[in-house]
Amino acid sequence: LDTKAVPDLRAQALYTLAAIDIRQDRSSDALGLLEEAAAIAAADDDMDRLGQVYTAIAAADVNLGRFDDAAAGFARARVAYTGNPLALARIDANEGVLDNARGHPAEALSVLARAAERFQRYGMYNDLALTTSAEIRARPDRGPHSHRRLQRNAGFDPQPYAPADPDHRRHRPRPAH
């Protein structure tokens, strides 16, 4: 793709390819793509794209164990996303993951709880689910049922369609033949 003709499309394509690399545990491969995407977004003064790319760079750094670089990347993303409360909540959630990776679960839980509250308020249930999952990983008491308590606290009903009558199958009308 010609960067000069369609810079936003190229930056989006580079970001998408890098996101695939990150999800396939190839974070080091993603960094070159993301740096190029960041340069394009910066030249185009596209702050939302720049914040998105900085967040991905920081997430790759977390995966690579480069925690100081990740913290700096999240700080750059936070500046780029100024005025976008939903994007800032995503930064908070990522910083909570970083805190947990650094071995600071108490700090992680505080940050993740703040992000989860905002995701709940905005109806961003996919982000809320991911953040709740990160909270579960950060909990020192993450026994086999601790996730249920977190789900209830986040407003999830683990069995939203469970019938009140445990013997509901016996009382269901049978279809006529």
Find, among 114, 109, 117, the residue nearest to 140 by Cα.
Answer: 109
Place of tokens 């340069």: 39
* Rounded mean pLDDT, 88-98: 96
Residue 105 structure tokens: 């679960």
- Whether 22 shows a pLDDT value over 60: the answer reads yes
Q: How far apart are CA 118 and CA 114, in angstroms?
A: 7
Q: How far apart are CA 7 and CA 19, in angstroms?
A: 18
- pLDDT tens across 72-91, in order? 999 999 999 998 999 999 99
Residue 53 structure tokens: 């790319």
* Rounded mean pLDDT, 90-113: 95
Q: What is the pLDDT of residue 11?
A: 94
Q: What is the pLDDT of residue 160?
A: 42
CA angle 145, 147, 148 (to 5 degrees): 75
Residue 33 structure tokens: 């793509």
Find, among 89, 82, 77, the residue nearest to 116 by Cα.
Answer: 89
Q: How far apart are CA 121 and CA 12, in angstroms?
A: 28
Note the pTM of the prediction, 2 decimals.
Answer: 0.76
Q: What is the pLDDT of residue 6?
A: 86
- pLDDT tens across 144-175, in order? 555 555 555 555 444 443 444 444 444 333 33
43-60 burial: b if 16+ Cβ within 10 Å, else e:
eeebbebbbbbbbbbbbb
Work out the pLDDT band at 102, boundaries 50, 70, 90: very high
Helix axes 47-63, 27-43, angle to 10 degrees: 160
Residue 112 structure tokens: 């993740």
Residue 2 structure tokens: 């010609």
Q: What is the pLDDT of residue 7?
A: 84
